[in-house]
């Protein structure tokens, strides 16, 4: 369930069970999902997605349910950690990252999900991370916002007369 407690309807979210295959806690391990996107130099973009982390089987709580990052050209621009996750405390979130392209062209954009701990029961996973509702949009320049605001003001004044 990607959007919080309640009935689970049709969902096209991608579900993973990430983490290290050994008990070494020195590095995170997980999955990186990317897509090449054409971006324009000097333009401010926002990239966002919904996430959840939950455990379906009893057996305790994991110290970290998952770490979710917005990644652009291999670098994280925003990160959120689910924190302690067990059968009775799933977590839900929404992450947003901003990026201003310095060059026009293709840029690698995506999401990364990692955990610094072993996968619970690697042969029968019971701790999951889900991502869904990926979105990208351009942040309007201040002059564009000002022009739209002035236009709305003029329309309202004309309407009053």
Q: 110 pLDDT band (50/70/90 cuts)?
A: very high
Look at residue 16 in the predicted model and tell me its pLDDT: 84
Look at residue 42 in the predicted model and tell me its pLDDT: 93
Q: Tell me which of 16-20, 90-94, 111-115, 127-131 is least confident.
A: 16-20
Average pLDDT on 106-127 reads 80
- Structure tokens, 86: 């067990």
Distance CA 27, CA 32 (A): 15
Check whether 137 has a pLDDT greater than 90.
yes
Q: Beta-carbon neighbour count of residue 16 at 10 Å?
A: 19
Check whether 3 has a pLDDT greater than 90.
no
Angle in degrees, CA 137, 34, 56, rounded to 5 = 100
Distance CA 90, CA 52 (A): 7
Q: Tell me which of 25-34, 60-69, 71-80, 146-155 is least confident.
A: 146-155
What predicted TM-score, i.e. pTM, was given to this entire model?
A: 0.78
- The answer to whether the beta carbons of residues 29 and 114 sit under 8 Å apart is yes
- The answer to whether the beta carbons of residues 91 and 52 sit under 8 Å apart is yes
Look at residue 126 in the predicted model and tell me its pLDDT: 79
**139 or 46, greater pLDDT:** 46
Average pLDDT on 146-153 reads 59
- The answer to whether the beta carbons of residues 111 and 68 sit under 8 Å apart is yes
Question: Residue 40, SS3?
Answer: coil
Look at residue 143 in the predicted model and tell me its pLDDT: 56
Angle in degrees, CA 75, 80, 85, rounded to 5 = 135
Look at residue 120 in the predicted model and tell me its pLDDT: 62
Check whether 69 has a pLDDT greater than 90.
yes
- The answer to whether the beta carbons of residues 45 and 136 sit under 8 Å apart is yes
Burial of 105 (0-12, 13-18, 19+ CB in 10 A): exposed
Distance CA 41, CA 44 (A): 9
């Amino acid at each position: 369930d990607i959007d919080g407690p309640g009935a689970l309807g049709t969902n096209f979210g991608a579900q993973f069970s990430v983490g290290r295959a050994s008990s070494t806690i020195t590095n995170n391990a997980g999955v990186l999902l990317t897509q090449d996107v054409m971006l324009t130099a000097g333009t401010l973009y926002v990239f966002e997605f919904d996430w959840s982390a939950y455990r379906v089987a009893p057996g305790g709580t994991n110290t970290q349910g998952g770490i979710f990052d917005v990644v652009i050209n291999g670098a994280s621009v925003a990160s959120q950690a689910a924190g302690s996750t067990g059968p009775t405390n799933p977590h839900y979130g929404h992450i947003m990252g901003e990026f201003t392209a310095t060059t026009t062209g293709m840029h690698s954009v995506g999401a990364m999900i990692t955990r610094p701990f072993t996968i619970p029961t690697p042969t029968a996973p019971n701790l999951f991370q889900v991502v869904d509702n990926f979105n990208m949009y351009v942040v309007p320049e201040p002059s564009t916002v000002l022009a739209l605001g002035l236009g709305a003001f003029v329309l309202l004044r004309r309407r009053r007369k």
